[in-house]
């Protein structure tokens, strides 16, 4: 189980999350929506222990381990993976090299190269991604959409149990969005992993059908519902939704 309790975090004296709570049970899919600059990517980076963000209080736990006490590489070893909004490129090292090294570290044994190559080729096929990328430097010369697919290729090989997708749908055309959503659905079915999706658009929600949709505002979740909430936001905007919640609280 993944749990954020009463988290308050700042950057450069600006409070981005304040008494923020979230619980994701094993196998659940949650979506967080919210205005630009509200702190969605901040939450993702905090989970991965980006030290640029200062934690003022609260906790982040995964399977009862305090993630705030771990370094980023230790969090990755807990099988948590973030696909960031803008995946960076890494020159001088290919996807195959990164994945082979990481996999050897996870499994603590030598990798069967035949199975490893097969897995990567199958993932490329499922992602409609040119397999030439397998032996190319990580994300170098890749478009925004291709970068998202390359990161999902990494997920297919490393098999995280908690997958965080920060705007996986940005930079994807309609066909690529369908392919990526199907890939995520298949991965979820196969592994029963937990997934946190950050998005602005209900399009991806239509394919993935999450258990919960949450709205982030003023540093915390102000409204939660099922996937219909995403359509409400699409038609009436964030302001209207937050008003509804305020009315109910009165």
Binding site for Mg ion (CB under 5 A): 40-41, 85
Task: Based on the shown chain and the rule CB under 6 A, indicate whether residue 39 belongs to the binding site for ligand ADP.
Answer: yes
CB of 49 vs ligand ADP, minimal distance in Å: 14
Footprint on residues 153-212 left by ligand ADP (CB under 6 A): none
CB of 126 vs ligand ADP, minimal distance in Å: 28
The stretch among 39-47, 106-114, 146-154, 219-227 that binds ligand ADP (CB under 6 A) is 39-47
Among 4, 7, 9, 16, binds ligand ADP (CB under 6 A): 16
Whole-number Å distance between alpha carbons of 142 and 147: 6
Task: Based on the shown chain and the rule CB under 6 A, indicate whether residue 38 belongs to the binding site for ligand ADP.
Answer: yes
Task: Based on the shown chain and the rule CB under 6 A, indicate whether residue 219 belongs to the binding site for ligand ADP.
Answer: no
CB of 210 vs ligand ADP, minimal distance in Å: 18
Binds 16: which of Mg ion, ligand ADP, none (CB < 5-8 Å by kind) = ligand ADP
Which residues lie closer than 8 Å to 156 by C-beta, 6 or more apart? 119, 120, 122, 123, 126, 183, 187
Footprint on residues 48-107 left by ligand ADP (CB under 6 A): 52
HSE at residue 1, side-chain half, CA atoms within 13 A, is 7
List interacting residues with ligand ADP (CB under 6 A): 11-12, 16, 34, 36-42, 52
């Amino acid at each position: 189980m993944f749990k954020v309790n009463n988290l308050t975090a700042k950057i450069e004296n600006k409070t981005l999350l304040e008494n923020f709570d979230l619980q994701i049970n094993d196998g659940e899919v949650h979506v967080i929506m919210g205005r630009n600059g509200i702190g969605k990517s901040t939450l993702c980076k905090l989970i991965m222990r980006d030290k640029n963000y200062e934690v003022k209080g609260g906790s982040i736990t995964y399977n009862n381990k305090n993630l705030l006490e771990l370094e980023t590489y230790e969090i990755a070893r807990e099988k948590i993976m973030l696909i960031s909004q803008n995946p960076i490129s890494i020159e001088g090292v290919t996807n195959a090299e990164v994945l082979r090294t990481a996999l050897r570290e996870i499994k603590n044994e030598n990798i069967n190269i035949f199975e490893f190559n097969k897995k990567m080729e199958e993932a490329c096929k499922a992602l409609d991604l040119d397999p030439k990328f397998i032996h190319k430097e990580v994300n170098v010369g890749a478009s925004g959409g291709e970068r998202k697919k390359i990161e999902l290729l990494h997920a297919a090989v490393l098999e995280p149990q908690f997958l965080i997708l920060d705007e996986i749908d940005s930079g994807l055309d309609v066909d690529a969005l369908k392919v990526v959503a199907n890939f995520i659905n298949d991965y979820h079915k196969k592994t029963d992993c937990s997934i946190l999706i950050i998005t602005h658009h209900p399009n991806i929600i239509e394919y993935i059908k999450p258990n919960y949709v949450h709205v982030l505002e003023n540093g915390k979740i102000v409204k939660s519902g099922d996937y219909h909430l995403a359509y409400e936001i699409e038609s009436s905007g964030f302001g209207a939704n937050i008003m509804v919640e305020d009315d109910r609280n009165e």
